Chain A
C-alpha cells in the first residue's frame, strides 16, 4: 500500500509540472505505459494473496483512473493555453475596412422611373415605351396642334425634315396606342423628348417624360383626379396635399395642372415654390374630342383622360438636385449617391 501512495504522489507531482503537450505524452507513457510502475503493479497482482487481491486491485484501478483524469484535465489546460497563445499571435485589426465585391448603381432617373412604373402597373396600367422620332402628324396634327399653332414653331421643335421631328412630348404615343387598340385603354408611356432649349442649370434639349392615357366608356374628370391623387400620394407620401388648377393644352379639354405640397418647405412657403407652398407636378386633362376622333375613337361613345410629367424635374425635387446637367454628365460620384 505504501507503494501505491508513493506512486500517487510521484504521479501528481509529475503531472503538475508538465509544461507542454510533448512532456505530457512522455509522462503519460511513463505513468500508464507498458513499462510503467502501475502496469508492473497490475502484473504483480497475481502474486498478492487472494484475500487482499480485490481490495488492492480496486486501489490500483482507482489510482489509474485518477491519473488518467488528471492527465486529461492537464491536457485540456495545456491545449487551452497553447490555443490562447496561437489566438493571440493571430490577432487582427478589426478596424481595417471590410472586403466586398463592388455593387453598381442605377441611374437616379431609372430609380424614379421604376417607382412611377410600379405605381401605375399596380393600378392596372400597361407600359408602352414611346418613340423618339415621329411624323409631324403624330407629334402635332393628331394632337389638335394645327399647322398655324404656336407650338409648331421651329424655335421649339427639332426637325429631321418637313415631315419628321424629334418628339416634343410623349403625347404622340396616345394616338399610336388608340389607333392600335380598342378601349378599354390604360397605359403609361415613358420616353425621351426634345426641345430646342439651350443648356443651363434647369434646361436641356433632351429630357424624359411619362405620358398616361385611359380611355373607356364613362371616364370622368373625377377619375382623373382620383387616379392622380393616388399616384402623388404613393410617389411622394401620404401627408402631401394636391391641388388641380385650370390650364391649357391643345389635346385635352378641360385641362389642368396638378400641384403638390412643396418638397423643400413642406408647404410653408420657400424660394422653390415661389412662396405658394405648392409645386407643379404634372399636366393633365380629359382627352380632347378632336384627338379621340383623330385616333378613330368615337367621342360620343368614349371619353378618356391623359396626363404627362417630366422625369428629371421629379427626380430633382425628390433628391434635391439643383442642376439638371448632372443627370447626363455621368460622374460616378453623382450616380453612386442614389
Chain B
C-alpha cells in the first residue's frame, strides 16, 4: 500500500520526520517496506529556455538549438517539432538519467555537438493522463512563468515522500489512508482527523436494486448524480493518485479511486443512461461474458458475482466494471455504487480471471460493511466540492443484516500472564481507546472494522503493539527436558561424517522431477505421487528414486570440467500409499565419474558399513536395466535388499550428456538405521604373534573371488584370522580364460605361538580344497 506522506498528514498532525515515522510505525506493527520519491527515477533534468533554432547543416529532419539553462547556454540537436523560441522545456543535460534508466551523454549528431536532450512527459516516466497539459507527442512545455535552470521534479510535484507499507492480511482496514492514519495517531499519541463528508439522506431513488444472494452481497448503496461535467481532475488529486500508483482518468473515476484510497472502500461509477430499465441486479453469472474496462473479453463461470441490468452484465462485482456503462466524456448522469461483497467469492473470481485490481484486493480481505456509508458520503462531498455533478435523489441503501460491534471482556491478568509483563489495567484501557476500542466496565467494544480481534490473545497483541515489543523482558522457559536427536538423525550425521572422510561432497536436489526421467534412465514408468498444479511438467512428480537427481549433479560437474569427486546425497523419495499420505523414505545416493570406479564406490560402501558396525551386508548380482549388465550388484543387509551399486549404462550417461563412465549407488537407510550398532565392546588385544603366508592361485575367470575366499576361510575356523586379496591379474603369463589371485593369509592363535607344522597343515588343506572345488592351481 503506497501512501504519500503529505496525504497522511491531513489525517494526523505528525511533527516527526520521515525516518522517525518509518521506525515507529514499523515497531507498532505497520511495517514500512520502502520510502521513495515519485521522481526518483530521473536525475539531472532541469528547465531550460530555447533561445535559437537553426537548421542542421547535414540533416533535414534535425535542428540545432541554443538553450539557456541558467548557468550556461547549451547547444542541443533535436528532431522535436513542437518546440519554439522562448519555450521552457525539460533538458536532460550531460550525465543525466531518464525514467527508463537511459543515461544521456554529450555527443555529436551528424557532426554537430549536442550537449543534452529535450524530454517528453513519457521520458520523464509519466503519461498524458497524468499530465493532461502535455502535447499528444513531442516535448513537454512548461508554463512561461517557470524559472529556468531548476530541477523539474518540484515543478512537476515529484518530490513527495511516498511510503510503501506492508499490510498483513488480517488488517484490511489498513488498506486505506484512514486506517494507517489511525495507527499513526495511536503510535504518536495524536488525534485522528476524519475527512469531511456529506450528510447522507437514505431513502429511495429512480433505481430498483435486487440482490439475489444476501450472503454474497451484504450491502449495496447507490447514489444518482446528474449534471455531470467530465474533465480532468485537479492537479492535487491527480498527483496523489499517481503517488499511490493509480493512473488518473477523469474527475468522476478519480474521485471514486481517491475515496477508495482514503477509506479502503472500493467504489464504482456507472454511466446511468446505459443501465436499462433503471434496474440493477446483483447475482451470480450464468456462463456469460463481459468486456471489462481494460478492453478484454472475460468469460464468466456460474459462481462469479456480477452486477447486471435486465439486459446485460454491467460489472464483475468488486473486480472491474464493464465497457458498456463506462464513464466517458459525454456522460451526463451516473450511478455511484458503494457495496460490500463476499470476500471469498471475489477472491475466487479474481483468481480464476487472473485479474487482480485495487478493488478486488480490498474486497478479498473482507472489509467492513459499515464502511460503505462513510465512503459514499465522502464521494458525494467531493463531487459537490469539485463541482462535477449534483446528487439528484436520496441514497439507496440495501443492508438487510447490519453488522454490530462485538464485545470482549478485558482480562488484564491473563494478558500479563501471556506476555510476561506487568502492565496496569489503566494503561491497557488507555492503549485500547487510542485505536478506537472503547471500554466500559471490563468490556471492550470491538469496532466492526476490526474483524481480526476475537479473544484475549488478540487483545494482548493490541496492547503490546503500543506498549512496545521492545519493553518485554528476555527470560528463558523453565522446563526440565533434555535436548537430543533420535537414532536415525544421529546415524544420518554419522553417515555424512564417514562419507566426507572418504572424499564425499554432499549435494542437495529438488524433491520433484519430470515423469520423463523414467525413460531417460531406462526405467519402467513408476506410479509416482503427482502434483496436481505443478510449476511445469519438469517438476510434476515427487521423485520415486534419486538416480535422476544424482545424474544431473554429475552431469553439471562433468560439463563444468570439475575434478572428479564422489558426490552423495541424503534425501527422501516418495511412495504412493493408496489414500493415506505417501510414505517418505530416506535414501543415501552416491555417484562419481571418470576414474572413480565400481570398486572405489564399493570400498566406500564397505567402509561405511564397517564404521557403522554393520556386518551382515552382502553384494549379489543385480539386473537393473539402467546399469552395465555385468558391472552391477544388489546390496543386502541380512535378507533385505537395500539398494544397488553399478556402472551406469552408457545410454543413460549419454542422455545426461556425460562422456565418461559413471558409477552410482543408492541405499535405503531404513535397514541401516535398524542394523547400526552403537554399543561397542572392547576385545582384548592379541597376545601371540601373527604369522603371514602369501598364496597365489590360478583359477577360471568366472569363479568369483568371494567363493574362493569363503572356501579359504572354511578351512580353518580357529587359527586363520584374516584373508586379504591383494592382487588380481589376467594377461601375459596367464592362460586365456584364467586369472591369478594373490591372497595374504594371517594366522594367529589366542592361546599360543603357532608352529610351522600347524600352519603348513592348514595351508595344505587350503590348497587341496581350492583345487578340488574350483580346479585352482598354485601359481609358482
Contact = CB atoms under 8 A, between A and B. Distances in A.
Contacts of A184: 479-481
B419 A103 contact: no
B582 A133 contact: yes
Interface stretch (A42-50, A51-59, A74-82, A239-247): A239-247
A106 B569 CA distance: 10
B473 A222 contact: yes
B432 to A, nearest CB: 14
A206 B511 CA distance: 8
B303 interface: no
A104 B535 contact: no
B31 interface: yes
Contact of B506 (A105, A124, A131, A244): A105
B143 interface: no
A15 to B, nearest CB: 46
Contacts of A95: none
A102 interface: yes
Contacts of A164: 581-582
A254 B457 contact: yes
A329 B556 contact: yes
Contacts of A129: 489
A220 B419 contact: yes
Interface in A286-308: 286, 288-289, 303
A108 to B, nearest CB: 9
Contacts of A151: 169
Q: Select the residue from A107, A114, A117 with max chain B CB neighbours within 10 A.
A: A107
Contacts of B34: 274
A221 B464 contact: yes
A160 B532 contact: yes
Interface in B142-199: 168-171
B291 interface: no
A148 B343 contact: yes
A61 interface: no
Contacts of B465: 246, 254
B474 interface: yes
Q: Select the residue from B420, B493, B496 with max chain A CB neighbours within 10 A.
A: B420
A87 interface: no
A95 to B, nearest CB: 21
A278 to B, nearest CB: 9
B238 interface: no
A204 B392 CA distance: 56
A101 interface: yes
Interface string A209-227: 0000010101111110111
A161 B532 CA distance: 6
A122 to B, nearest CB: 6
Contacts of B364: 150
Nearest to A127: B485
Interface in B337-372: 343-344, 347, 351, 364-365
Contacts of A336: 505
A110 interface: yes
A267 interface: no
Contacts of A153: 347, 351
B347 A330 contact: no
A276 B24 CA distance: 12
Nearest to A105: B505
A64 interface: no
Interface in A247-284: 247-248, 250, 253-256, 274, 276
Contact of B28 (A114, A246, A250): A246
Q: Select the residue from A155, A246, A289 with max chain B CB neighbours within 10 A.
A: A246
Contacts of B572: 132, 192
B270 interface: no
A126 to B, nearest CB: 6
Contact of A196 (B496, B509, B533): B533
Contacts of B344: 148
Contact of B535 (A196, A245, A289): A196
Interface string B461-472: 100110001101
B531 A245 contact: no
Contact of B531 (A104, A121, A158): A158
Contact of A330 (B31, B474, B557): B557
B418 interface: yes
A247 B29 contact: yes
A274 B35 CA distance: 10
Interface residues of A, number: 86
Contacts of B481: 124-126, 184, 186
A321 to B, nearest CB: 14
A133 B572 CA distance: 11
Contacts of B347: 148, 150, 153
Contact of B169 (A150, A196, A254, A335): A150
Nearest to B170: A248
Given A103-B500, A288-B457, A214 B479 contact: yes
B746 interface: no
A154 B354 CA distance: 12
Contact of B511 (A114, A160, A192, A286): A192
B685 interface: no
A7 interface: no
Given A126-B484, A214-B479, A331-B562, A104 B31 contact: no
Given A122-B483, A186-B481, A248 B169 contact: yes
A329 B27 CA distance: 39
A107 B553 CA distance: 13
Interface in B503-554: 503-512, 529-535, 539, 542, 552-553
B474 A229 contact: yes
A3 interface: no
Contact of A125 (B29, B460, B483): B483
Contacts of B502: 104
Contact of A254 (B461, B474, B507): B461
Contact of A120 (B419, B483, B565, B581): B483
B458 interface: yes
Contact of B476 (A126, A230, A250, A330): A230
A330 B509 contact: yes
Contact of B483 (A123, A206, A230): A123
Given A124-B481, A134-B581, A244-B469, A159 B476 contact: no
A333 B170 CA distance: 45
Contacts of B457: 253-254, 286, 288-289
A256 B477 contact: no
Contacts of B489: 127, 129
B567 interface: yes
A313 B510 CA distance: 17
Interface in B575-615: 581-582, 584
Given A105-B506, A219-B477, A328-B509, A150 B461 contact: no
Contact of A186 (B29, B479, B499): B479
A67 interface: no
Contacts of B169: 149-151, 248
Contact of A133 (B420, B532, B574): B574
B351 A222 contact: no
A331 B486 contact: no
Given A133-B581, A222-B419, A332-B557, 15 more contacts: A103-B501, A104-B565, A124-B481, A126-B484, A126-B485, A127-B485, A127-B486, A127-B489, A133-B542, A148-B344, A166-B531, A194-B511, A223-B477, A248-B168, A289-B455
16 contacts: A101-B503, A103-B503, A104-B502, A104-B568, A114-B493, A133-B529, A150-B364, A158-B533, A158-B534, A205-B510, A227-B477, A246-B461, A246-B464, A253-B455, A253-B460, A331-B562
Task: Give the 9 A-B CB pairs with smallest separation, nearest first.
Answer: A220-B420, A222-B420, A246-B29, A254-B461, A248-B168, A121-B483, A102-B503, A226-B474, A330-B507
